[in-house]
Structure formats: structure tokens, C-alpha cells
Amino acid sequence: MNEVSVLIISNKFDFTTDYVVLTLRELGIPYVRVNRDEFLNYSIRFLVNQGELYIRIGNEDFVISAKSLKSVYYRAPTFVRTLDVPTEPELQLYKFQWASFIRNLIFFEDAFWINNPVATYKAENKLYQLKIAKDVGFKIPNTLVSNDAGYLQINDKREYAIKTLDPGLLKISGKSAFIYTNIVTYNELMESNLRFAPVVVQEYLHPKTDIRVTVVGNRVFAVKILSQGNSINGDWRRIEKDKLEYVPVTLPENITQLCIKFLRKLDLIFGAIDLVCIDDEYYFLEVNPTGEWAWLVKSVKFPIHKEIANLLFKGKL
């Protein structure tokens, strides 16, 4: 029987988890990785009264209990989207019941979580993020939300950045689609139909430099994102990947501290923060509590995985 010190909840294709697992192995930490897309390969037995979760993978048994469990690395959604609900009843069962099982692992609430899903659920709300960012001292863009262009009551005939409140994942004619941040003119905005869904309207900050800040505990890793040596207009995620460069930067100390303070306020240990810099002024855009970061290990050799593994090992900040 393998007593588990670190429980990892992920999916098979989350390569950030591979980085963390390999580091835990180097440290000799007993762990088990449970993938949301692999439950058909596991047998589980949860003795609720005793607070013991047994998982069989292959021929190995793992036990998770308050006695042995120190930390949890949680790389899973906090709620289930219904974009791709399968038609087969078995797959529907799988999707919704296992998602609930994963959420129920907050049963082990005394462990050290990166991140606790309850905190993540709250932190994923964009307007709440902006409020907290402003409260801790960040500059944020002027932001409105509306479903009626006529009710926006904006008179400044400049360009605006429009964004979704929820990640803009769609299915259009059976194909996956995504709504990136879009830059629109005043006229286009005023003439648009917003009725079906609220739209986040922000002042368009430009020319700007995009900065991705990955915070792990009290460590901050920052890159500026350029394309062919230049700052990017609009949403950098739309740029072809081979035209993007990630350049490590050292943030001003006050901005570094704001990033850490911001995450503490949200009860998060990990966060991927998007900032923009204009004329040496930093603006907060958003945080992703489960943001991707493996691309930063590969591209600029940030030891994010080591930092996460060390915290999981310590079981505290």
C-alpha cells in the first residue's frame, strides 16, 4: 500500500503536471497522479467515515488520508461546462459524476492546495478580479459591462477592447471557436447588437507591452511577449506561435509585491497574471488561477515546476 503525501488531480494532456511529477520523483516524495480523463483505468474506494480514499492503478494501491496527505496539486475545472455534452448516457454519467467526485476531494481541506478549488471558483470571476486588483493597488483599465450599446453611455470616440466575461468557448457548426479580445471602433461598438450576452468593454491600452507574470507562492516569474521584436496590438494569443518571443523581465519591486499580495487576497498559491505596460505604467488585466506555464519552462527555462514541487513538498508557503 502506497501512502500518498502529494495528490495530483489533472488530465493526461496537462504537461505542466509532468514537470511537477518528475520533480517530485527527484525529491523522493510519494505521490499519485489522478487524471480526470482516465477514471475508467482506476478503481476507487472512499471510506468516508474513516476519511480514507483508496485508488488502485494497475496493480498498485494508493491510500490518501488526512494522516499521510500533505498537499494537493489541483489542475481541474471548478465547474463543468456543457459545451460538449456527450449523447451516450454512459459518457454523460462519466462527465458529470466524476467531475463531482473531483470537487468532493475538498474533503481533504486541511491539506495544502495549489490551488484550492473553492478559491479558484471565486477568483475566476473577471469583475471580481478587477475589483481585488484595484483594492490591492493595481491600476486597471476603465471597464464597463453592458448588453445594450445604447445604454453604455460612452462618448469618447476612441477604440475599445471588448472581452467575454466567461472564457469565450463556442461550438459553431460543429467546430470549436474562441472569442479573443477584440479591438473595435466606437462606431462599430455603438452599432452592434449586444443583447444576447453582456460584453466587457474596456479602454484600449496601447501601444502596450504584454507581460505574463506567473506567481508561485512568493516567487514571481515574468516575461514580456513580443512579436518579431515588437509589442503586439490586440490579443497576442492570435499571433502565430512561431512569431512570438518570450523575454524574461524583472518587474519593479512594487509590481512584484502587488502580484503576490493580489494572489494572497484571493487565497491562491498559483496564478498566471496578465499585465500590460504603457510608458512604465503597469495595468492589471486578468488572472488565470489554472493558467498554463509549461511553455515557459520550455522556452525560457523558468523553474516554475521546481517551485511548485517544493511548495507541495513543504505543504505550506
**Per-residue contact track with another protein, 205 to 234, x per CB under 8 A?**
------------------------------
Alpha carbon distance 254, 195 (integer Å): 41
Integer Cα distance of 146 and 201 in angstroms: 8
Check binding of 238 to another protein (CB under 8 A).
yes
Please, what is the minimum distance in Å from the beta carbon of residue 59 to another protein? 9
CA distance 198 to 195: 7
- Choose between 2 and 257: whose C-beta lies nearer to another protein: 2
Whole-number Å distance between alpha carbons of 224 and 270: 19
Q: Does 48 bind another protein (CB under 8 A)?
A: no
User: Per CB under 8 A, does 87 bind another protein?
Assistant: no
> Interface with another protein by CB under 8 A: which range of 79-87, 105-113, 129-137, 273-281?
79-87
CA–CA gap between residue 226 and residue 299 (Å, rounded):
13
Residues in region 171-210 near another protein by CB under 8 A: 172-173, 175-180, 182, 184, 188-189, 191-197, 199
Q: Tell me: does residue 40 bind another protein (CB under 8 A).
A: no
Across the beta sheet with 270-278, what order do the strands follow? 244-248, 219-227, 209-216, 270-278, 281-288
CA distance 101 to 179: 30
110, containing H or E segment: none
CA 117 to chain centre: 11
Residue 182's contacts (CB-CB under 8 Å, 6 or more residues apart) are: 161, 162, 163, 234, 235
Mark the segment that binds another protein (CB under 8 A) among 43-51, 160-168, 203-211, 260-268. 160-168
Binding mask 88-107 for another protein (x = CB under 8 A): -------x------------
Task: Compare residues 142 and 176 and give the one whose CB is closer to another protein.
Answer: 176
Binding to another protein in span 127-146, by CB under 8 A:
none
**Closer to another protein at the Cβ: 192 or 230?**
192
Q: Does 243 bind another protein (CB under 8 A)?
A: no
Compare residues 42 and 139 and give the one whose CB is closer to another protein.
42
Enter the C-alpha cell of residue 209: 507591452
Is residue 164 close enough to count as binding another protein by CB under 8 A? yes
Distances in Å between the alpha carbon of 266 and those of 121, 260, 272? 10, 10, 13
Q: Which is nearer to another protein, 16 or 209 (CB)?
A: 16
Residues 282-301 that bind another protein (CB under 8 A): 288-292, 294-295, 297-299
Q: Residue count at the site for another protein (CB under 8 A)?
A: 72
Helical (H) or strand (E) element with 163? strand 160-163
Q: How many of the other CB atoms lie within 10 Å of CB of 140?
A: 17
**Residue 18 near another protein by CB under 8 A:** yes
Q: How far is the CB of 237 from another protein (least distance, A)?
A: 6
Using the minimum distance from each CB to another protein, give the nearer residue, 13 or 151.
13
